[in-house]
């Protein structure tokens, strides 16, 4: 993925299967309570209620752990296109925070089943025509021989020739 910042500096963000937006502390084996989890725990009790009762702490922690396991399972069940979309959004937010406004980027175009539309395009926020290309719907990989052009690449012809 390429990202263009206000200074017209292009940032290349590689598409990496291992690059995940899963939180680093999403480990199922983790037994430590993070600062965020502690804050969530403290917010669960009304003011004045005794928070020092150990079984309340254990119950609250177990509930948070179960919720995180559920979130992890949902993440793993997502389709390839949805996962790439969330990774791209995460990277855009991260890049925008560190470098400012972004004018050119790629977000995967997913269908309702979670796979890729055969035509994928960059997004440009400056009004120019975006570059588009053809991909295989199952994995999002570019179809060899298909052009990357600032028009409709008519992907159906490349999909038909691959069958």
Average of per-residue pLDDT across 11-36: 47
pLDDT for residue 130 is more than 80: yes
Structural domain of 96 = 1-108
How far is it, in rounded angstroms, from Cα 139 to Cα 147?
18
Last residue of a domain, one of 108, 130, 151: 108
How many domains does the chain contain in total? 2
Helix (H) / strand (E) containing 67 = helix 54-77
Least confident of 32-36, 48-52, 142-146: 48-52
Q: What is the pLDDT of residue 152?
A: 94
160 in the same domain as 98: no
Percent of the chain with pLDDT over 70: 56
Report the SS3 class of residue 44: coil
Mean per-residue pLDDT over the chain, rounded: 73
113 in the same domain as 103: no
Say which residue the tokens 């804050």 belong to. Answer: 39
Whole-model pTM: value is 0.51
65 in the same domain as 120: no
59 in the same domain as 1: yes
92 in the same domain as 150: no
Per-residue pLDDT reduced to its tens digit, 63-81: 777 777 766 666 566 788 9
141 in the same domain as 104: no
Burial of 137 (0-12, 13-18, 19+ CB in 10 A): middle
pLDDT for residue 146 is more than 50: yes
80 in the same domain as 98: yes
132 in the same domain as 61: no
55 in the same domain as 24: yes
């Amino acid at each position: 993925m390429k990202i263009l910042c206000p200074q017209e500096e292009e940032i290349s963000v590689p598409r990496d299967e291992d690059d995940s937006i899963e939180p680093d502390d999403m480990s199922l084996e983790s037994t430590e309570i993070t600062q965020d989890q502690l804050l969530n725990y403290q917010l669960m009790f009304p003011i004045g209620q005794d928070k020092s009762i150990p079984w309340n702490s254990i119950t609250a922690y177990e509930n948070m752990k179960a919720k995180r396991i559920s979130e992890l399972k949902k993440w793993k069940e997502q389709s390839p296109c949805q996962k790439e979309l969330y990774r791209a959004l995460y990277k855009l937010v991260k890049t925008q925070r560190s470098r400012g406004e972004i004018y050119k980027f790629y977000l995967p175009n997913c269908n309702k089943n979670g796979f890729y539309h055969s035509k994928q395009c960059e997004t440009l926020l400056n009004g120019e025509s975006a570059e588009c290309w053809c991909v295989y719907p199952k994995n999002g990989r570019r179809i060899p021989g298909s052009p990357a052009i600032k028009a409709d690449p008519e992907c159906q012809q490349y999909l038909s020739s691959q069958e």
